[in-house]
Structure 1
Amino acid sequence: MRGPLAPPQVPLSVSRAESFQDLVQDSAERLERRWPQLSAVDFAVLEVPGPAAPGDPDGWDGESVPLGRFIAARGDTPDRIVIYRRPVEIRAKTRDERALLVHEVVVEQVAELLGLAPELVDPRYGQD
């Protein structure tokens, strides 16, 4: 008889993409407790950065691969912070390294959004 190896609520059944999304969400929630205005920000995960669209000054220029990106609100679209999963996973080998790098990238993007230094956004930034 074949069936699932583990029930859905057990971490074994969580995909790498879902696990990564959880890391981003955990980081966002941690920062939101300190910066309540982040509740209006859309935090998203994309596999890789795409090329810049014509006329988009915020797009990826094809040079170094970014780990994340802040996209300012436009019209009805809220501020958005995007974390790129594959570039982060390539740079971090273990789950702990990945969690730390995700948090650092989220802090850096939030700092850009708020116009502050990353150390002011999260006093523990860069200490781990």
Structure 2
Amino acid sequence: MKIPVENIVELTVEHQFLQAYPILSQLRKDLSLKEYLDLLNDMRKEGKQLFALYHDTSIVALAGISWREDSYNERYVYVQDLVTDVNHRPSGLGYNLLSYIHNWAKEQGAEYITLEA
């Protein structure tokens, strides 16, 4: 199932973050809603971003990213917390989201991206 790129967005407001929590909690089972919202607040202050892939009106995949710089002064995007909803695995949605982030990062001037495994 191929999801159009326009259904991938950066989450920026609280109702989007609340909608994302059930998906992220599949990866971070020990994270309460309050801890999640506190963590998001801290992460956003540090410039970290959260992207979501939507199917219809539901979030089905998430990825958190941050900008970093390596020892050669090259800017790159670090992808963490990449997760696809258990009901949509294995459908290639995580790959679609990661591909989108890769292209977006290159357009923003990243030399490369790296994924936390």
Q: TM-score, normalising length from structure 1? A: 0.34
The structure with higher relative contact order (CA 8 Å, sep 6+) is: 2
Larger radius of gyration: 1
Instruction: Return the structure number with greater helix share.
Output: 1
What's the TM-score, normalizing by structure 2? Answer: 0.37
